[in-house]
Structure 1
Amino acid sequence: MKNFGMLHVYTGTGKGKTSAALGLALRAIGHGARVIMICFMKGDATYGEARAFHFLPNFTLKQMGRDSFVNFRNPDPIDVKMAQDAWEEGKRVLLNHETDVLILDEINLAMAKNLIDTKKVVSFLHNYRKNTEVVCTGREAPAELIDEADLVTDMQEVKHYFTLKNITIRDGIDH
């Protein structure tokens, strides 16, 4: 695709980082681009994007995390391995030029919590993204990634119905 190769970072405490990445994916697909989304921590097959991707042409979703929360204070070795495997898959996709847009969903948090090495990720993305648009999502984006990025959006929570109205996760909106 023409002029692809930018690095996007969607981070912050607010809702909408993955949703923004999916919006970009939808727009890219509309222009004939191929999109691969690798989910670092969202292995639950009931997520809306996991159910919907089958309906989108040129969109591949690879869920590579467990379907439960990661204990970041004391991560289970399987969570570390899964995050590292997800990153290896992302590298493989970039090296083989398999897609026009690569979304690395929740990679920011995987780096921030030391499940994968930030310096190695940033160096690889600097050297190998070439003609692939790369989108990194998740809270706590490391400063090195932000410095490397061409676009950074910091989504900040102003108010949220979870806390205001004690509303739980709603399928189709939050999950």
Structure 2
Amino acid sequence: MKDYGLLQVYTGSGKGKTTAALGVALRAAGRGAKTVMLSFLKDDPDYGEAMAAQYLPHFLLRQVGRDAFVNFHNPDPIDLKMVRKGWEEAKKILIEDTADLLILDELNIVLATGMLPLEEVIDFLKKYKGKTEIITTGRGAPEELIDIADLVTDMQEIKHYFHKGVSSRDGIDH
């Protein structure tokens, strides 16, 4: 039925990486595809996507991080444990083929900062990509991930209203 199984990477300094992945999820829902989104560095039920998830058919969003600042230079052991648990959940979804689309939100930065072993993730994705469409988001996608991807979009900031003092807005920025 579905011609899924590619690896897409959305990275760069610009806004819109998670939003682009959610756009694909919206299209997938329109075609009856099952989507699972694992948000690695988020645990806030007030994020717009977390509140909207209930309205999108066949869409499951799980926040597998915590609602706290992550020190990427010296991550708290709880953050490392949560990232590992989220990655194990992602692997299970791919091994058991229980989703048509798997969004790994903020996985790029998790890999770039060494919160998960890059080689382990790359080896696993090489082995299991092919049935489930996989999208990774986040700044700093490592070259090794880019190399195995089928599509890479690098979103670059040209201008941002935050620099004018505009705060994060509900429904627009989160």
Q: Shorter chain as normaliser: what TM range?
A: over 0.9
1:174 positional shift: 0.5
* 2:151 aligned residue: 151
Aligned-partner SS, 2:13: coil
Deviations 1:99-158 (A, max 9, x none): 000000000000111110111111111111221000000000000000000000000000
Indicate yes or no: 2:118 matched with 1:118. yes
* Separation in 2, partners of 1:69, 1:136: 21
Aligned ranges for residues 135-174 of structure 1 at < 5 Å? 135-163=135-163, 165-174=164-173
Structure 1 residue runs of 4+, over 4 Å off?
A: none
Aligned ranges 1:17-166 → 2 under 5 Å: 17-163=17-163, 165-166=164-165
Query: Is residue 108–residue 140 contact of structure 1 (8 Å, CA) maintained in 2?
Result: yes
Residue identity over aligned pairs, in percent, reads: 58
Could you list the runs of 5+ residues in structure 1 that have no partner in the other structure? none
Q: Which amino acid aligns with 1:158?
A: I
Q: What CA deviation, in whole Å up to 9, does each residue of 1:5-27 have, x standing for no partner?
A: 00000000000000000000000
- Aligned AA for 1:75? P
- Equivalent residue letter for 1:142: P
Q: 2:12 is matched with which residue? A: 12
Deviating more after overlay: 4-13 vs 69-78: 69-78
Task: Please give the alpha-carbon distance, in whole angstroms, between the structure 2 residues aligned to 1:135 and 1:69.
Answer: 24
* Deviation, structure 1 residue 85: 0.8
Give the TM-score taking structure 2 as reference length.
Answer: 0.98
SS at match of 2:38: strand
Q: Is the 8 A contact 1:44 1:68 kept in 2?
A: no
How far the C-alpha of 1:89 sits from its partner, in A, is: 0.5
How many Å separate the matches in 2 of 1:18 and 1:123?
Answer: 24
Deviation for aligned residue 1:2: 2.1
- Helix, strand or coil at the partner of 1:60: strand
Q: CA separation in 1, counterparts of 2:140 and 2:129?
A: 22
Q: Name the CA distance, whole Å, in 2 between partners of 1:69 and 1:169.
A: 16
1:159 Cα deviation from its structure 2 partner: 0.4
Instruction: Give the Cα separation in 2 of the matches to 1:81 and 1:101.
Output: 24
Deviation digits for residues 8-54 of structure 1 (CA, Å, limit 9, x no counterpart): 00000000000000000000110110000000001111100110101
